[in-house]
Amino acid sequence: MAAETKNNGGGGGCDGQSALLHGKYELGRMLGHGTFAKVYHARNLKSGKSMAMKVVGKEKVIKVGMMEQIKREISVMKMVKHPNIVELYEVMASKSKIYFAMELVRGGELFAKIAKGRLREDLARVYFQQLISAIDFCHSRGVYHRDLKPENLLLDEDGNLKVTDFGLSAFSEHLKQDGLLHTTCGTPAYVAPEVIGKKGYDGAKADLWSCGVILYVLLAGFLPFQDDNIVNMYRKIYRGDFKCPPWFSPEARRLVTKLLDPNPNTRITINKIVESTWFRKAVPKTVRSKEEMEFEAFEATNGDKSKQPETLNAFHIISLSEGFDLSPLFEEKKREEKEELRFATTRPASSVISRLEEVAKAGKFSVKKSDTKVKLQGQERGRKGKLAIAAEIFAVTPSFLVVEVKKDNGDTLEYNQFCSKELRPALKDIVWTSPPENSTLA
């Protein structure tokens, strides 16, 4: 998991005094605590960056049999890197403690904001859009949160939502033979009826029910299913027995009703949520990402460059190639989620650029180009913003080119799907292949 940690603050306790952790982090004041963990303000001594350090006592966790849950939280958080999910930087361990170095989210819980009263519909929409973006990303990686509630939604300094607390999350490999999850967990008021029913449930559909409860709470300022008697509350949840307050707009009422459908088979899906009129309404302030602004400025920075592709020397070729075999296959990094591919061609640079423009047109991408570079940017937002792809052309000899294509922005999974379904088929006939005796083109 990590290297042994030395805590120079005295026996691992860091209340009321600064402590040095692993010679790398300085621990400061406590920010909060739960049953099994304390969270401290920490500073990375090398970078000076502030972060949150979650400290979990091993003994306590082992005693109640929660070690698997902690391991699961670590592996999930390493998998899910998204702008609306709290980032895990590093995990360390000593004999008695586990330390999570995490992104410091300074704006507090969304719960605290709702406690002051219901939110304006346009603000609730912004938070809900960010929540769905994060949950869609998790689901695309086979991860189900299973404990979504406003207390597990934090806000950063800019008011952006961040999902946290993946301790109860499940992977798709936890599904039983019937393809369903079977562990009852979560917070009663936010739990889907099929989870309470203990008959097995779809983790994605159960998460969406919780999102429905959250949306209702954001818009109403109170819970949809309330009763002092928990059995009565469960009955209401089973029946989907709730009423929308009169101030809900018709579109909001429709969406909440589809989310809080007690039948998981007819409950709205993420694709349908994203298409709904309420969800699609533009947010008041349109924020363009750094990548989108760079895309706009692309021509200005590339206009006066040489018209010839940059010639590759031996060092370039070595850095571009995993070995010297540039030929038969698109070369890719050998890892699960690849972010770049390369191919060789004997066609001129103008032919490569024309082909990339055709791909862009078919796939709803905007295009910017110079004589040796092409940038494509998706017109619609994906799981991690708009997908952006950059292609650059290098010359090995005047008539033999290497084209490097890489993801510039957006979700790696969406990029890989685009490459396999759109890009590879469109480029297949211009890719140079080696002579038949050792050709292995798929």
- pLDDT tens for 250-280 read 999 999 999 999 999 999 999 999 999 999 8
Residue span(s) of the chain under CATH 1.10.510.10 come to 110-280
Determine the pLDDT at residue 316: 57
- Please give the mean pLDDT across all residues of the chain: 77
CATH 3.30.200.20 fits 19-102, yes or no: yes
Look up the CATH number of domain 110-280: 1.10.510.10
- Looking at domain 290-438, its CATH architecture is 2-Layer Sandwich (3.30)
The pair of three-digit structure tokens given for residue 300, joined into one six-digit string: 């200005």
392 or 16: which carries more pLDDT confidence?
A: 392
Range(s) for CATH 3.30.310.80 in the chain? Answer: 290-438
Rg (CA), the chain: 26
Backbone torsions φ then ψ of 280, nearest 5 degrees: -80, -10
On whether 364 is known to bind a ligand per the annotation, the reply is no
Question: Is the model more confident about 66 or about 324?
Answer: 66
Q: Which amino acid is at 419?
A: C
Mean pLDDT lowest among 67-71, 214-218, 323-327 = 323-327
Long-range contacts formed by 239-246: CB under 8 A, 24+ apart: 240/193, 242/216, 244/216, 244/220, 245/219, 245/220
Ranges for all domains in the chain classified under CATH 3.30.200.20: 19-102
Active site residue 261: no
In the block, tokens 């605590």 appear at: 33
| pLDDT one-digit tens code per residue, 112-163 | 888 888 999 999 999 999 999 989 988 888 888 778 888 888 899 888 999 8
CA angle 58-64-68, nearest 5°?
65
Of 7-16, 116-125, 335-344, 423-432, highest mean pLDDT: 116-125
Q: How far is CA 31 from CA 11, 21, 41, 187, in A?
A: 20, 17, 6, 23
* Main-chain phi, psi angles of 197, to 5 degrees: -65, -15
For residues 320-334, average pLDDT: 43
SS3 content of the chain, % helix, strand, coil (to 5): 35, 25, 40
More confident position, 420 or 118 = 118
Identified catalytic residue from 15, 122, 136, 147? 147
Q: Which residue reads 């709290």 in tokens?
A: 86
Banded pLDDT at 60 (limits 50, 70, 90): confident
Mean pLDDT of 19-41: 82
Quote the CA–CA distance of 290 and 24 in Å, as a whole number.
31
Continuous segment of H or E residues that includes residue 340 = strand 340-345
Average pLDDT score over residue span 319-336: 44
Q: Count of alpha carbons within 13 Å of 158, Cβ hemisphere only?
A: 7
pLDDT at 341: 79
